[in-house]
Structure 1
Amino acid sequence: MTETIRLTTAQALVRFLASQYSERDGLEQRLIPGAWGVFGHGNASGIGQALLQAALTGEADLPYYVARNEQGMVHAAVAFARMRDRLAAFACTASTGPGSTNMIAGAALATANRLPVLLLPGEMVATRGPNPVLHLEATGAGDITVSDAFRSVSKFFDRITRPEQLIPAATAAMRVLTDPVETGAVTLVLPQDVQAEASDWPVTFFRRRVWRVGRPVPEPAALARASHLLREAKRPLIVAGGGVVYSGAETLLRAFSEATGIPVAETGAGKGAVAWDHPYAVGGIGPTGSYAAQEVAREADVVLGIGTRYSDLATAGHAVFGNPDVTFVNLNVARLDSVGQSAEPLVADARLGIQALVGALTDWEVGEAYRRRTRELVAEARRLEDESFRGGHGPLPATADILRTLNEILDDRDVVINAAGSVPGDLQQLWRARDPKAYHVEYAYSCLGYEVAAGVGAKLADPSREVVLLVGDASYLMMAQEIAGMVSEGMKVVIVLVQNRGFASVEAPAELPGPQWSGAQYRFRDGEQALPAGGRRPVDLAANAASLGADVLHAATVDEFRTAVEKAKAGSRTTVVHVETDPCSVLAPAPGNPDAEALAF
């Protein structure tokens, strides 16, 4: 007879999650190391009770972390997974109705970035006794609820309407979370009565299970085709994406570039895979990328993409590749991405794929003239960057002044976090990363409000690193509540709050069609004006940060900013460095990149 134990569905889920592990290259770690949650109608008496009981009795090791915003806790979980190379993922639970739907933007961000997170939204009562719940009715189908909105942004979705359905659903969820091809947001919808319903569970469901994350090897014939195209190339280019970092292939990529002379450009997710001062590192690619990367991409005859899906921001709608006869070879663990750009596919893990290419090209390298051309372009790009860093802007600091100062102060292992707006484009040009985890910029979903919550997740994932958030006032106003979480957890995070009193990425290109300052500045409405065009609206974000428990330092000049960041970094508490900048001091487009002015914000 199968041994069973009587638990509620929520208690069974918590016990199951605490027993899951991931493994790659012989290293095991907790797959679900904890849970974020906001409790209320829909999950308090289910998952909330189960997490509390686990904490009090020690029956299951699943630490609970308090969140202040449901979207924010998903951002924190995503940042954690990114820092852990997608080998660990947090669970996030919310109550029925608005609490759960608040997680949808975070779910979309996770799936867009292909980062694992387990979402446990609350749901209406499965028995439909109370109906409707929270006054949400579907007139066309009785089984549709607002939780169905998660379907479009999840890589896996299931609704548990009976306790016994949890066993196959939870197992399938773990499979997707640990699959580098399929991973993203995984959603298990749990009606509130099912969460609290008791049932007999087989003890085997709770056994320790290790999910092996393998490294697929390239097919020999595909390797032969890819290496043949590279051998025929005169001006090849490597585009390194996030897959290089998640695979831990950085050292191999650098050695491959040195041996063959192929220059390396980076996407936003791949920045830092090759140190910025590597002789063949041409910098960020795309409309906001470096001069060297744009020139090499424009001339390239063969492009080897490694771990990238060629998002529009990286290719400017393919416009950065100017050679009409350019050919693509895509090394990617996902078949879908390997055939992008009508490429010759090489389906494999990035590390093993590079190893195979090294073996296939041991007696080949680019010509000396092309190596020299790459070095010349890199030197010119460095000159342009140094020119941007020259300073002298006034009376308020420019964005470049802020980035130059941070580049000089932060160590190689320090993590800079940023998201939507104008700064990601500036960072793509100017941030000098040597460590693959030092550059943490979310732009696949371009989600304002990501930075503060992501700082919690990144610090939780690796407390040994200094975490520095570069957040504008617009993004800060979207979501700053998790500062309270940093303080509660005793975390030390440095928050650089760049105050330009509006949406600078919209305000700066005033010559372009659009709302310009009318929708980009914080202004009062005078009388019956159609647009808010009155006086500037004062917003004291520093006071807000202090009210959440952070220490606050103020800076009005570059020198004051340097002193404040150094003090914050030397401190032991979460500290906000508030600095006012010129909202119109965005960087000029890279020379030779006609699309950059329109796209670099």
Structure 2
Amino acid sequence: MSHTIRLTVAQATIRFLGQQWSERDGKRQRLFAGCLGIFGHGNVAGIGQALLQEELRASANGAAADLPYVLARNEQAMVHTAVGYAKQKDRLQTWVCTASVGPGSTNMLTGAALATINRIPVLLLPSGTFATRVSAPVLQELETPYAGDVTVNDAFRPLSRFFDEVMRPEQLPSALLSAMRALTDPAETGAVTISLPQDVQAEAFDWPAELFDERVWHVRRAVPEASRISAAADVIRSAKKPLIVAGGGVHYSGAEDVLAAFATASGMPVSETQAGKGSLLHGHPQLVGAVGSTGTTAANALAAEADVVIGIGTRWGDFTTASRTAFARRGVRFVNLNVAAFDAGKQAGLSVVGDARESLLALSEALDGWSVSDTYRKRQGTLWRRWDKAVDTAYNPSREVTDALADGLLTQATVIGAVNELSDPRDVVLCAAGSMPGDLHKLWRVRDRKGYHVEYGYSCMGYEVPASIGIRLADPTRDVFAMVGDGGYLMMPTELVTAVQERVKVIVVLVQNHGFHSIGSLSEGLGSQRFGTAYRQRDEASHRLEGDVLPVDLAANARSLGAHVIEVHSRDELAEAIAAAKAWPSDGGPVVIHVETDPHVFGPDSESWWDVPVAQVSELESTQDAFEDYATHKQGQRPLLAPGETS
């Protein structure tokens, strides 16, 4: 008879999770770095008690718990912290997140969506109401008249790559094993959710001892089919003006060096998505930078001319394709290298399903000796030098621009330039929402493969502060610069308290422009006159939000949360603040650099477009003009249906 161990469902869950490892290329690491959580009546006596018990067991032996616990301040934010950590670890490690019944659990929904959209693994343990329903309806329980078994946790189903609800102890082993499979699957990963009713968490059961043995989950490198590589090589050889679009899959597979060698040998220019930025480091002769709606003029000019586009590890979002206007050449063909067949099949492309590194190695061999023309190489260099000069101008604006600014204000591009030039090459810049991601995509010069971290699959306001904690925990040898506007900061500043608690040094560059910079300019471009996008008091005469700037002191707010705050009012003061932040003790907690910028001064234009519909009829002349412009751009959209196969 098999040996058994009597534990509650929660105790068994925590003990199991502490014994899970991932492995790739012979290198293994713990799958879970720890557990982030906030306790309530749904999990305090279940998962909370189990974490305490494991912590005390380890402490009694003079060791740290296999699954250390970190108290977070917001359930959505703790998922962002886990995502930031997992992305920095190339998806080979992540965190567990636990929350209580009702609002605690549903607060994690936004984080779940973000993780799944970005293909980042994170394990969510939302608590549920009673499986027995003996006390129903209980506090925070959803009652629906059409179904007795529906709970708020069912909202996680469409947001998760795997979902299960453990209604009986016997169901736990299969749920846990299935969760590990999804978390370590490079093609199918994302948010994984196991819903745990509060009474089930506390229920005891005799578990097979083997459940708690150490388990190593192999993260596979899918090898592409030889016939697909051969077909892809045939399409690429036929091209006169090919363009590579490097996505996040390049980073997750560790294919940067292989891509650099491939681009050098073939001469093909390499453009980058947000997730793929840094696939080639600044200075590589084939790098032409960001592509699409937030792209460089160099990449977008080459995209417009390209006859073959090779997508590597990209899911082809609308910003990458400029809403299907970037690749304007009639009959342009696509070759898609992707570990996920779902993404590889987009744009009617020739599909090569496989790990990015393995696929590039095979394609390099198949194309050995082939190269684009010298003329095409020279054109890439000319376009890039022109763009790089524009970046220099944005980083260091002319006196005409600076003289026009109000006293003490900087441009957003100047702030980005100062951080880029004064940070160390290995430091990480982080952002997620507003106008900052677009400017970073265009302007930031990446000097290290892990130096750029922008979440743009969900572009979630509030991601920056909690995710910076995850990145720093993933690699304490790097400083993290979280670039965040006042709008994003106000969404989720509370995790500064978590950084203070854990003595995690993160550098938050808080850009105050009194409103939503990105949506303000978008609103203006769409004829909506920046309506509802500025942080203003209501004017007594017009009854509109067009009065004075709100008397809000975000620097004081950050101080009140325990952060060390530096306020700057000039480029020189900003340089001094960056140096001081770099010199701040590694265990000194968060530093916030507060700087005001002018929201009406923009970085260099990408000369591209993004499809956001405009009202077809309107009394406003501004909207009428915007619709005419919109209709013109719509004519440039392409179906991108040319077959990628050779005849």
**Hey, what does 1:561 align to over in structure 2?**
574
**Hey, what does 1:73 align to over in structure 2?**
78
**Hey, what does 2:596 align to over in structure 1?**
580
The one-letter code of the counterpart of 1:525 is: R
Does 2:463 align with 1:450? yes
**Hey, what does 1:398 align to over in structure 2?**
411
Give the 5 Å matches for 1:161-560: 161-391=167-397, 392=399, 393=402, 394-395=405-406, 396-509=409-522, 511-513=524-526, 516-527=529-540, 531-560=544-573
Query: Which one is further off, 573-582 or 192-201?
Result: 573-582
Q: How far 1:193 moved relative to its partner?
A: 0.3
1:111-153 deviation digits (Å, cap 9, x = unpaired): 0000000000010011001112225211110000111001111
Structure 2 contact 524–530 (Cα < 8 Å) conserved: no
**Hey, what does 2:158 align to over in structure 1?**
152
The one-letter code of the counterpart of 1:575 is: V
The one-letter code of the counterpart of 1:285 is: V
**Hey, what does 2:605 align to over in structure 1?**
589
SS, match of residue 33 in structure 1: strand
Structure 1 contact 38–66 (Cα < 8 Å) conserved: yes
Q: How far 1:506 moved relative to its partner?
A: 2.2
Kindly tell me: are residues 330 and 168 of structure 1, through their superposed partners in 2, closer, same or farther at Cα, counting changes over 3 Å?
A: same
Kindly tell me: are residues 545 and 514 of structure 1, through their superposed partners in 2, closer, same or farther at Cα, counting changes over 3 Å?
A: farther
TM-score by length of 2: 0.90
TM-score by length of 1: 0.97
SS, match of residue 21 in structure 1: strand
Kindly tell me: are residues 366 and 97 of structure 1, through their superposed partners in 2, closer, same or farther at Cα, counting changes over 3 Å?
A: same
Structure 1 contact 68–485 (Cα < 8 Å) conserved: yes
Question: Percent of counterpart pairs with the same letter?
Answer: 53
Structure 2 contact 423–578 (Cα < 8 Å) conserved: no
SS, match of residue 468 in structure 1: strand
Kindly tell me: are residues 12 and 509 of structure 1, through their superposed partners in 2, closer, same or farther at Cα, counting changes over 3 Å?
A: closer
**Hey, what does 2:38 align to over in structure 1?**
38
Q: How far 1:248 moved relative to its partner?
A: 0.3
Structure 2 contact 319–610 (Cα < 8 Å) conserved: no
Structure 2 contact 225–352 (Cα < 8 Å) conserved: yes
In structure 2, C-alpha distance between the alignment counterparts of 1:516 and 1:471, rounded to whole Å: 24
1:519-551 deviation digits (Å, cap 9, x = unpaired): 112222245965333322111111111111111
Structure 1, unaligned stretches of length 5 or more? none
1:385-429 deviation digits (Å, cap 9, x = unpaired): 222223242231001110111111011110000011001110111
**Hey, what does 1:5 align to over in structure 2?**
5
In structure 2, C-alpha distance between the alignment counterparts of 1:131 and 1:216, rounded to whole Å: 48
Kindly tell me: are residues 514 and 489 of structure 1, through their superposed partners in 2, closer, same or farther at Cα, counting changes over 3 Å?
A: farther
**Hey, what does 1:90 align to over in structure 2?**
95
The one-letter code of the counterpart of 2:71 is: V
Give the total of aligned pairs: 598
The one-letter code of the counterpart of 1:582 is: D
Does 2:131 align with 1:118? no
Q: How far 1:318 moved relative to its partner?
A: 1.7
In structure 2, C-alpha distance between the alignment counterparts of 1:595 and 1:34, rounded to whole Å: 40
In structure 2, C-alpha distance between the alignment counterparts of 1:87 and 1:459, rounded to whole Å: 16
In structure 1, C-alpha distance between the alignment counterparts of 2:92 and 2:120, rounded to whole Å: 9
The one-letter code of the counterpart of 1:80 is: Y
SS, match of residue 45 in structure 2: helix
1:273-331 deviation digits (Å, cap 9, x = unpaired): 10121111000011110011001111111111111111111111221001111110011
In structure 1, C-alpha distance between the alignment counterparts of 2:388 and 2:531, rounded to whole Å: 37
Structure 2 contact 303–327 (Cα < 8 Å) conserved: yes
Root-mean-square deviation (Å): 1.6
SS, match of residue 50 in structure 1: helix
The one-letter code of the counterpart of 1:257 is: A
Q: How far 1:510 moved relative to its partner?
A: 5.9
The one-letter code of the counterpart of 1:353 is: S
The one-letter code of the counterpart of 2:227 is: A
The one-letter code of the counterpart of 2:394 is: S
1:561-585 deviation digits (Å, cap 9, x = unpaired): 1111111111113211100111112
Structure 2 contact 102–141 (Cα < 8 Å) conserved: no
In structure 1, C-alpha distance between the alignment counterparts of 2:14 and 2:524, rounded to whole Å: 55
The one-letter code of the counterpart of 2:338 is: N
Kindly tell me: are residues 138 and 324 of structure 1, through their superposed partners in 2, closer, same or farther at Cα, counting changes over 3 Å?
A: same
SS, match of residue 535 in structure 1: coil
The one-letter code of the counterpart of 1:114 is: R
SS, match of residue 371 in structure 2: coil
